[in-house]
Amino acid sequence: MTNGNKFKVSRYILDIPYDVRDKKYIILFNTLSRSLVAVSEKTWKKIKNNNLKEIPAEIFNELVNLGFLLPEELEEREVARTRINLSKYNPTHMGMFVNMTSRCNLACPYCYQDLRKNLNINRDLTVENWNKIMKLIFKKEDILKKVSVVFFGGEPLLNYTVLKKAVLDLDSIKNMGIKSTMAIITNGTLFSKQIGQELSPYIDSIQITLNGMKSTHNKMRPYPDGRGTFDVILKNLVDNIDQYTHKIVIRSNINESNIDSVKSLLKYLKEEYDLHRLLRGVSFEYIFPTQTSICIGESYKLSQHISKLLIEIYTHAVDLGYSIGNPLIFGPCMASHAFSFAVDERLNVYKCPGFLYSTPDGYIDKEGNLIITSSRWYSLINFEPPCALTCKFGPICYGGCKWMATASKSQISCNIEHLRNYNAFLTLYIRSRYQKLLEGEQ
Amino acid sequence: MEELIVLERGSTSFDEPNFCGVFCNPIKGGDNPY
């Protein structure tokens, strides 16, 4: 395989020691290829010391295939640029955030969507407008291989009739050879067993938010009249878990005031309902400032303090046996992808769901054409952060959140303070998913 | 002890955009996030 070439070690490797019983592994994550492996200390020593010739051929070849080793002559930053650009300009995939309605049946005091709330107009995506989105997909029939849609709002289940039609329409594009994946972000209050049954064959994942035990959650996520929502959400969750096993993600938005309550919630859901085994996973985000505060320049960053809070809650979740996603991957996000966007109920399009109801980047016309009216659309796609290739986190960060970057009137929102804690996050991710495998049990 | 265990085989090209965690954890990281 080497063909006489000399090889070198990738610059995009994160390594952590990982002990399982009497075994000592080194976990390697390549941020460019996103391959994840466990190697022996002996093998890692050979890699690290560049004694590559001492690595058995079979392992050497696998490390090359997975991106950990590459021919010495290659400038890996150019390899990275090419691969990332192939991704950014890949026309065979389309990702869409579809806003089903501007209405919401909750009145969460911390809701980031204050631009939506300030509209004072309740609007739903109509069937007519949904059909225009489908026209857009049909126009790309020859080139598309996959469409990933997230239905959100407002509360998307308030517009259930159109949502159901959208789900069935998207399912039907498999007949054109296009794969679709569908996710719903819902507050869970309307996710009845009947609705769950109707959607279950088509939906890949559902995100439902619980921000702590009953009293804490009810203060943070009440109905407009002040009534709490914990009981109804929990009932819907439990009623639906059998038909949505490994499809539901519990999301908790945390800060210093509710983190302990979220810990209690996770324990409660495990002990009472076995949800640590039945959920797809849990995810946590720090509570963000609103769209308006970002617009007026309130600075926001994943600081060391916030990162530590996230480590604390993720550790608690993994200790209880919950699954988590890889918490290190931030990008390149849909804002960098040429054929992905968020669309509101009036068919205005935005490069990121965080931009919703600010000045749109374009719209979908009645023929299903995507008309771009803002240079921001193109500059977000074409922008290559100066750190993207030089930082070893570049391929999984790519300049961070574009929405947050607007707060500092910058094009990047550096995540380095957070990503420096990769050791902790990667350890938690491995523990949540691969502990048994590494222990030798399948 | 095995010298190499492949836990996740990465892609050589990112054929799918990542939907960031802030808004959209359900599909964070592509097809197999959890």
pTM, two decimals, is 0.93
Nearest CA to A211 among A257, A279, A270, A146? A257
- For residues A111 and A212, state if they share a domain: yes
CA dist A80 and A11 (Å) reads 10
CA dist A85 and A382 (Å) reads 9
CA dist A220 and A214 (Å) reads 10
- For residues A46 and A102, state if they share a domain: no
Q: Which of B6, B14, B15 sits opposite A37 (nearest CB)?
A: B6
| Alpha-carbon distance A374 to nearest alpha carbon in chain B (angstroms) | 21
**A410 part of contact set with chain B, CB < 8 Å:** no
Instruction: Give the total number of structural domains in chain A.
Output: 2
Q: Which of B5, B16, B19 sits opposite A150 (nearest CB)?
A: B19
**B32 part of contact set with chain A, CB < 8 Å:** no
Q: What is the DSSP code string of A240-287?
A: HTTTTTTTEEEEEEE-TTTHHHHHHHHHHHHHHH-HHHHSSEEEEEEP
Q: Which residue has the tokens 């309307």?
A: A190
- For residues A84 and A70, state if they share a domain: no
* Residue range of the domain that includes A11: 1-74
- For residues A101 and A13, state if they share a domain: no
| Alpha-carbon distance A248 to nearest alpha carbon in chain B (angstroms) | 8
Single out the residue in A74, A91, A115 at which a domain terminates.
A74
Single out the residue in A20, A53, A74 at which a domain terminates.
A74
**A399 part of contact set with chain B, CB < 8 Å:** no
- For residues A171 and A54, state if they share a domain: no
Q: From B21, which residue of chain A is nearest by alpha-carbon distance?
A: A330
- For residues A46 and A121, state if they share a domain: no
Nearest CA to A281 among A436, A432, A97? A432
| Alpha-carbon distance B28 to nearest alpha carbon in chain A (angstroms) | 7
- For residues A363 and A438, state if they share a domain: yes
- For residues A95 and A207, state if they share a domain: yes
**B13 part of contact set with chain A, CB < 8 Å:** yes
Please state the ipTM of this predicted complex. Answer: 0.90
Per residue of chain A (442 residues), what is the pLDDT tens digit? 565 579 999 999 999 999 998 889 999 999 999 999 999 999 999 999 989 999 999 999 999 999 999 999 999 999 999 989 988 898 999 999 999 999 999 999 888 777 777 777 779 999 999 999 999 999 999 999 999 999 998 999 999 999 999 999 999 999 999 999 999 999 999 999 999 999 999 999 999 999 999 999 999 999 999 999 999 999 999 999 999 999 999 999 999 999 999 999 999 999 999 999 999 999 998 887 777 776 766 667 778 888 999 999 999 999 999 999 888 888 888 899 999 999 999 999 999 988 888 899 999 999 999 999 999 999 999 999 999 999 999 999 999 888 888 777 788 888 888 899 999 999 999 999 999 999 886 5
Residue A90's domain is classified under what CATH number? 3.20.20.70
- For residues A151 and A19, state if they share a domain: no
- For residues A297 and A362, state if they share a domain: yes
| Alpha-carbon distance B27 to nearest alpha carbon in chain A (angstroms) | 7
> Residue A46 in contact with residue A52, Cβ under 8 Å?
yes
CB contact under 8 A, A83 and B29: no
> Residue A212 in contact with residue A252, Cβ under 8 Å?
yes
- For residues A212 and A152, state if they share a domain: yes
- For residues A1 and A62, state if they share a domain: yes
CA dist B28 and A51 (Å) reads 36
